[in-house]
Amino acid sequence: MQEGKIMKALSGYYYVKSGSGTYRCRGRGLFRKQNITPLVGDDVVFETVGNEEGYIKEIKERKNELVRPPVANIDQVLLVFSATHPVFKPVLLDRFLTVVESKGILPVILFTKIDLLTEEEKEKINGYMKDYREIGYTVIAASPKKNIGIGEILPLLEGKTSVVAGQSGVGKSTLLNCLRPDLRLETNEISRHLGRGKHTTRHVELLEVGGGLLADTPGFSSLDLQDIEEEELSACFPEMRRLMDSCKFRGCLHVKEPRCAVKEALENGEIKDYRYEHYLEFLEEIKERKMRLGR
């Protein structure tokens, strides 16, 4: 028996790195019966069959996992958002942040294509970057094609397992090619007609970059909040999380309750209106989900 980490999942095979070797493994039938799916990032125990083949016998306990993309044991998520082409949508960033926060994973925000901004667009994006930095997030402005911001990103990767996530067309593959030029990952320009990118990443794979492991993931445009309960949502907003114990009522949802510290901070301008509006939108979505499921 050997131990290793799943680096790639493709066509029913799991590619497990152990020491200096990589083994193409199948999962045990027992996993299917137990409704367990091995994920990229899993630490596993496997048995070799021949020189480079094997069977996964055990999946070690995960510290966290994402469903979309399917990755486990993540230290941080690099949320890549285009400053333009496609147009930046704060509500989508807040949705990503909410899901990542709910998993207890550290988010890092990357704005790409900053070299393409007009002066008016630059002022607007700089305002958003300032807001998110004040909340406490690490925010990096980057342009892989111009090699801007790469020197800030690389030190963040060392010794960590990171995931690159974001919409299609925001420049994730271009960023990875810049961080590790020998990858030569396929990239596609934005479709001008549709205003969005084509999917270029077809599977999840951990790559060795900057002294750590970095997963490129298929692009996607939305994330659901199915694992988050109403009373847990505000904890996914750091500026609200800091104030929760100051509310009069335990379990305050920060909507109509009296002496709510979050509402007071909102009125004082300490919490941005658009962040609070997104919180209310997500809260309503969670409530509607519970009603549909009859819970």
Known binding-site positions for GTP? 112-115, 166-174
Q: Diameter of the chain by CA atoms?
A: 68
Tokens of 22: 């990589």
Buried-exposed string 186-223: b where 16+ CB fall within 10 A, e elsewhere: ebeebeeeeebbeebbeebbbbebbebbbbbbbbeeeb
8 Å CB contact between 95 and 129? no
Contact status, residue 199 vs residue 218, Cβ threshold 8 Å: yes
Residue with tokens 């094609």: 145
- Closest residue by Cα to residue 205 from 76, 60, 17, 37: 17
Q: For residue 77, what is the enclosing H or E element? A: strand 76-82
Q: Which residues are annotated as a binding site for Zn(2+)?
A: 247, 252, 254, 260
Q: Which residues contact 269 (CB under 8 A, 6 or more apart)?
A: none
| Token pair of 288 as six digits | 């509607």
The pair of three-digit structure tokens given for residue 87, joined into one six-digit string: 């147009």
Q: Which two tokens stand for residue 271?
A: 């919490």
Torsion of CA 131, 133, 138, 140, to 10 degrees: 60
Read off the tokens for 107: 């988010």
Which run of H or E residues covers position 65? Answer: strand 65-66
What's at 14, amino acid-wise? Y
